[in-house]
Structure 1
Amino acid sequence: MSKAENRQLMAILPTPLVHKFLKFCYFIIALLVLSCGETKKDTQTDATPSKEETTPTKTTTNSTKTILCFGDSITAGYGLEDSEDAYPGVLQEKIDALQLDYTVINSGLSGETTAGGKSRIDWVLNQKVDIFLLELGANDGLRGVPLSETRANLQAIIDIVKQKSPKTTIILAGMELPPNMGQEYTTEFRQLYADLAQQNNLDFIPFILKDVGGIKALNQKGGIHPTVEGHQIVAHTVWEVLQPLL
């Protein structure tokens, strides 16, 4: 209805009816305003997620266990184009294939001796370690280090691991030397690993280079460090002892 029509209508109607008509119009307008406000409010409420919906549920799990391979160039993967081809990396592949919740850490250092390992073991144990694989001593033997010193250093490393991380399982990897080092020395060298494993009640790998050491096709030039294929065999040797512990 136009303004002119409103004026004509109010001129015709008596004054009391005019007042009633105006009140009725105001009432209708008020209802419309309130109705629009509620609709807008409902629309905003529906479009805005609740606090519970916008806050993601955090499920933090720290269940992954750690296997730390602590050794020399054999563990480090000396001479390989990709360090993941070293036996610790192969172990990780085996673990992942079985969907086991373990992470393998390669803490090998080329040229490392038992004395060097002893000096850095405290720093390495600043992380949580569930299984500790100790592979050291070859460089001692090749340098002719007194066996009493090698034995003492390995025992010290074992003692530190047990002291700082009592729940850690220790695997000792044995080593053998080439015959040109002398029969007496090589025999005693091999035996010291067996003795340490027995005295400390450790899981034991008699010779980590089993079926690899001394085989030309499985070693790099120089005959000491395994090839990629050699590391596959080393990983299998370690796995025979490691798998039952997982």
Structure 2
Amino acid sequence: MAMQNLLKFRYILLVAFLVSCGDAPKKEADPAPAKTEDAITKAAEISDEKIILFFGNSLTAGYGLDTEEAFPALIQNRLDSLALNYTAINSGLSGETTSAGLNRLDWVLNQKVAVFVLELGANDGLRGIPIKETRANLQAIIDLVRKKNADTQIVLAGMQIPPNMGQTYASEFQEIFPDLAEKNDIKLIPFLLEGVAGHPDLNQDDGIHPTPEGQLIVRDNVWDVLKDIVQKETVLN
């Protein structure tokens, strides 16, 4: 890719094969921790822009899609169109649970992050991991982000699951996200897949992962919350 195109998009995709949903399309790659650190460092070296780190699973990684079709890349396009001084980094890892995310977080945060978008929990819910464990892992991630840099703005992406594990479990799972957002005084995306989940034409054949059209809606769901943060930070600086 020419340097001009690299600077135009200014985002980095860090993905791996989907663990929980069978074989992943060839468009995904398997990152190593060292490569992740290098990617974040290089993003900062490209310019003096602030970093927005999207930390999640296959929904963030853009499972089954080209890199520029995943919502973090679409957010970067929106930032560029508004001349906002941010670099979006896609640190989505397919198949990621909250426990696995917590284990890899420390080396992801080696670079100073201005905005941390936390999108984890869906795989926990689909696997029936105890609600208490998922909640504790998400809280630990929030705590570690703040320990690394108290000034980092955190955005939590809300998630819902079908009642496969029972209606009680599904309801308690859904409440994890608004409860944690209120407790920690952080921004909440009420439901990341609002307007996409349950719509066959907006999801791939697995019925879980958004199509390019679905990713556009996900981008808007994220932007509805993110825009106030980045525009406020731009004014302050």
Name the TM tier (shorter chain).
Answer: 0.7 to 0.9
- Runs of 4+ aligned residues of structure 1 deviating over 2 Å after TM superposition are 60-63
Query: What whole-Å deviation, never above 9, does each CA across 1:115-160 have from its counterpart, x for those lacking one?
Result: 0000011000001100000000000000000000000000000000
Match of 2:50 in 1: 65
- Which position in structure 2 is the counterpart of 1:160? 144
Amino acid across the alignment from 2:83: Q
Q: Give the drift of 1:84.
A: 1.7
Q: Match for 1:118 among 102, 105, 110? A: 102
* Equivalent residue number for residue 123 of structure 2: 139
Q: Distance in 2 between matches of 1:149 and 1:95?
A: 35
TM-superposed CA distance for 1:179, in Å, is 2.6
CA shift at 1:178, angstroms? Answer: 1.1
**Structure (1 or 2) with the larger CA radius of gyration:** 1
Distance 1:183 1:147 in 2: 13
Query: Could you say which residue in structure 1 is the equivalent of 2:29?
Result: none
Q: 1-side partners of 2:186 and 2:151: how far apart? A: 13
Tell me, in whole angstroms, the C-alpha distance in 2 between the residues paired with 1:197 and 1:228: 28
> Which amino acid in 2 is paired with 1:77?
G
Q: 1:148 & 1:118 partners in 2: Cα distance? A: 15
Matched, 1:76 2:30: no
Q: Which has the higher contact order (CA 8 A, sep 6+)?
A: 2
TM-aligned CA deviation for residue 181 of structure 1:
2.7
Q: In the TM superposition, what whole-angstrom CA distance separates every residue of 1:38-80 from its partner, at most 9, and x where no partner exists?
A: xxxxxxxxxxxxxxxxxxxxxx995311100000000000011
2:148 and 2:73 mapped to 1: Cα distance? 26
* Corresponding residue for residue 229 of structure 2: 245
Q: Percent of aligned pairs with the same residue? A: 59
Q: Number of residues paired by the alignment?
A: 186
For normalisation by structure 1, the TM-score amounts to 0.74
Q: Which amino acid is 2:52 matched to?
A: I
Alignment of 1:173 onto 2:149: no
Root mean square deviation of aligned Cα: 1.3
| Structure 2 residue matching 1:103: 3-state secondary structure | strand
Distance in 2 (CA, whole Å) between partners of 1:145 and 1:61 is: 40
Comparing both structures, which one devotes a greater share of its residues to helix?
Answer: 1
Residue 111 of structure 2 aligns with which residue? 127
Aligned mates of 1:142, 1:219 — CA distance in 2: 17
In the alignment, the residues of structure 1 paired with residue 204 and residue 48 of structure 2 have an alpha-carbon distance, to the nearest angstrom, of 38
1:29 maps to: none
Give the letter for the 1:214 counterpart: G
| Aligned-pair CA distance for 1:90 | 0.3
TM-score norm. by structure 2 comes to: 0.77
| Cα separation, 2, equivalents of 1:61 and 1:83 | 19
SS in 2 for 1:132: strand
Tell me: CA distance 1:181–1:122, structure 2 relative to 1, closer, same or farther (3 Å).
same
